């Protein structure tokens, strides 16, 4: 049986517009929400961080791209915090010499369900000329995957719940009406009639035949 016989073209348009609106709303709150999850350096962290050291820390590597042509030595210490829409890493490596900065990187990944903001702050031996280069101060960076995927991962299930599911129930009711020989649009008993005398719409009572 043709499902199209039970759906009005205006309803299809309404479903598509509502999906678009909900995904756009989710897109609008995606980044502002992630920005509210940024923690300042002095703010409290969630209790019980995971801690890795030695080889375990080295295997997990740096949480973001290291900034120099010269590769940073493998980290030997790592702390991880996580919470709703928030993950943070504090990763360190010993200094190659005494008396200078070692390598150090803190990264916050913020957003839900995927990170959409990355905030990385780095420290190294400022006086080492081979480690010249970028600004170490934190600048929030947009994560493209989270930017595109979050509105869909939030918007589509929300739309399904608010619009898709109720409409599926309406469709089921129309199928039941049609099987009972009634007008699918208004439920009037319109057996053997081409136009429903109650609502005046075509195809009434003809479905399933
Ligand atoms: Zn009718």
Q: How far is CA 109 from CA 16, 32, 78, 85, in A?
A: 32, 14, 15, 8
By the 8 A CB rule, do 23 and 159 touch? yes
Model confidence at 134, in pLDDT bands (50, 70, 90)? confident
Average pLDDT rounded to a whole number, residues 164-183: 91
Tokens for 112, please give them: 């839900």
The rounded Å distance from CA 2 to ligand 1 centre is: 19
Average pLDDT rounded to a whole number, residues 88-116: 89
What are the boundaries of each domain within the chain? Answer: 1-35+144-209, 39-139
The rounded Å distance from CA 45 to ligand 1 centre is: 62
The rounded Å distance from CA 168 to ligand 1 centre is: 19
What residues form DSSP beta bridges with 202? 195
Residue 209 has pLDDT above 60, yes or no: no
Considering the entire predicted model, what is its pTM?
0.83
From the CB of residue 48, how many other CB atoms can be counted at a distance below 10 Å? Answer: 7
Q: What is the pLDDT of residues 25-40, one digit of tens each?
A: 999 999 999 999 999 9
From the CB of residue 43, how many other CB atoms can be counted at a distance below 10 Å? Answer: 7
The rounded Å distance from CA 185 to ligand 1 centre is: 5
Q: Give the pLDDT confidence score for residue 109 in this predicted structure.
A: 98
Give me the half-sphere count of Cα atoms (radius 13 Å) on the Cβ side of residue 121. 11
Model confidence at 91, in pLDDT bands (50, 70, 90)? very high
The rounded Å distance from CA 6 to ligand 1 centre is: 12
Residue 208 has pLDDT above 50, yes or no: no
Residues belonging to the chain: 209
Model confidence at 207, in pLDDT bands (50, 70, 90)? very low
The rounded Å distance from CA 177 to ligand 1 centre is: 10
Q: Give the pLDDT confidence score for residue 172 in this predicted structure.
A: 93
Continuous segment of H or E residues that includes residue 110: strand 103-110
């Amino acid at each position: 049986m043709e499902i199209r016989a039970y759906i009005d073209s205006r309803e299809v348009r309404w479903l598509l517009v509502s999906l678009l609106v909900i995904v756009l709303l989710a897109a609008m709150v995606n980044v502002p929400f992630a920005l509210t999850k940024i923690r300042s350096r002095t703010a409290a962290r969630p209790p019980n961080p995971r801690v890795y050291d030695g080889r375990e820390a080295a295997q997990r590597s740096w949480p973001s791209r290291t900034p120099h042509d010269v590769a940073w030595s493998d980290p030997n210490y790592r702390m991880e915090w996580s919470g709703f829409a928030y993950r943070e890493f504090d990763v360190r490596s010993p200094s190659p010499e005494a008396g200078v900065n070692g390598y150090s990187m803190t990264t916050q990944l913020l957003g839900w369900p995927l990170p959409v903001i990355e905030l990385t702050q780095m420290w190294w031996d400022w006086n080492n000329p081979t480690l010249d280069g970028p600004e170490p101060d934190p600048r929030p960076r947009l994560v493209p995957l989270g930017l595109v995927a979050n509105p869909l991962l939030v918007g589509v299930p929300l739309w399904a719940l608010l619009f898709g599911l109720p409409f599926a129930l309406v469709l089921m009711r129309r199928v039941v009406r049609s099987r009972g020989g009634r007008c699918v649009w208004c439920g009037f008993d319109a057996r053997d009639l081409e136009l429903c005398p109650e609502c005046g719409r075509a195809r009434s009572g003809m479905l399933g035949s």
